[in-house]
Structure 1
Amino acid sequence: MAVRLILVRHAKSDWGDGDLEDHARPLNARGRDAAGRVGRWLAATGRAPHEALVSSAVRTRETWARMAPHLPDAPEARVIDALYHAGPDVMLRVLQGARAPVVVLLGHNPGIAAFAHWMLSAAPTHGRFGDYPTGATLVARFPADRWADVAPASGVAEAFVVPRELPEG
């Protein structure tokens, strides 16, 4: 058996209100569209998650809220403060507490990019994997029966996409 991780960097956020704290920034129009594209792609490729671990920032919660309607039986987000600007070690600790076989984790750079590199046995050949732009989504499989047994450098990349590559809704 294997477990599958869907690792998503939040979609493009709105920088229009300079008075907002970073945690409170919402998505901009492009980000709202991108989140829907990612949700539709996951559904179309049969990669719908059973559990959603989401940073407490507005932009990550909104990214999930715009992905979820496109997914069959989308789980309610488990909003986790520790994922806000988390590093790879924190992300792994949170992930190892997951219960479902297919988990989506939504977070922020630079942690998401570092976590993706750390967890895979080999990086995908996609040209944007290195900088992990907004909305970027990695799907990786791990040879474990439960998340508590998942270790760094053990994942195999199944897919990596950025929203611009996906069809419009």
Structure 2
Amino acid sequence: MSVAEPRRIVLFRHAKADWPQVTDHERPLAERGRMDAAVAGRRLADSGISFDLALCSTAVRTRETWKLAVQELPHRPRTVYEERLYEASPGEIIAVLNEVPDDTRNLVLIGHNPGVHGLAEILSGAVDGAAGERMKRRGFPAAAFAVLTFDGSWKGLEPGAAALADYWAPSD
């Protein structure tokens, strides 16, 4: 692993969830969400990023999103289901990311709004360029993801340390 190679974090919001009579944590994906999760997985595969690690919230909708998306990837990364990602603030997510081992180069985090959207903005500081414009215009709808790059260790990840490299959201 070259020191010059930046690390990549993909912040991936769960796909569209249904609203049955269950607790928020137990909400499953809606039919549209199942379709969008697979499409997002294909888009992640097209990015060419080979993930070393997936961190996924323990909520049903995030686990289902990841299960459908990962089937589209050429390589299945080690997946850790992390209860601290459920309803996490950007600061709480950074604390989880600061614990990632430094032999991890590329990571995908499957979580919830407003945490993942806020984190994309906080980590990237000034959101410029085409990806930034798309994210400003679209927000962070269900099944959207942002690709951020940064140099240094996971322990040193902090606000403004990353750059927004790409952004994708499903069509309405």
Deviates more, 1:79-88 or 1:150-159: 150-159
Distance 1:28 1:3 in 2: 33
| Structure 2 counterpart of 1:69, one-letter code | Q
Matched, 1:135 2:152: no
Matched, 1:90 2:76: no
Q: TM-score, normalised by structure 2?
A: 0.88
Distance 2:15 2:125 in 1: 26
Matched, 1:120 2:124: yes
Report 1:50-61 matches (<5 A): 50-61=52-63
Distance 1:98 1:92 in 2: 10
The aligned counterpart of 1:102 is 106
Distance 2:59 2:138 in 1: 23
Q: What number of residue pairs does the alignment pair up? A: 162
| Structure 1 counterpart of 2:165, one-letter code | E
Query: 2:51 is paired with a residue of what secondary structure?
Result: coil
Query: 1:158 is paired with a residue of what secondary structure?
Result: strand
Distance 1:158 1:62 in 2: 26
| Structure 1 counterpart of 2:124, one-letter code | L
Deviations along 1:96-137, one digit per CA (max 9) or x if unpaired, are 112311000111111111111111032211155663111110
Distance 1:129 1:48 in 2: 28
Query: 2:9 is paired with a residue of what secondary structure?
Result: strand
Distance 2:12 2:97 in 1: 13
Deviates more, 1:23-32 or 1:116-125: 116-125
The aligned counterpart of 1:4 is 8
Match of 1:157 among 148, 164, 168: 164
| Structure 2 counterpart of 1:148, one-letter code | K
Aligned alpha-carbon RMSD (Å): 1.5
Distance 1:103 1:25 in 2: 25
The aligned counterpart of 2:35 is 33
Q: Is the 8 A contact 2:27 2:61 kept in 1?
A: yes
Q: TM-score, normalised by structure 1?
A: 0.90
Post-superposition offset of 1:48: 3.3
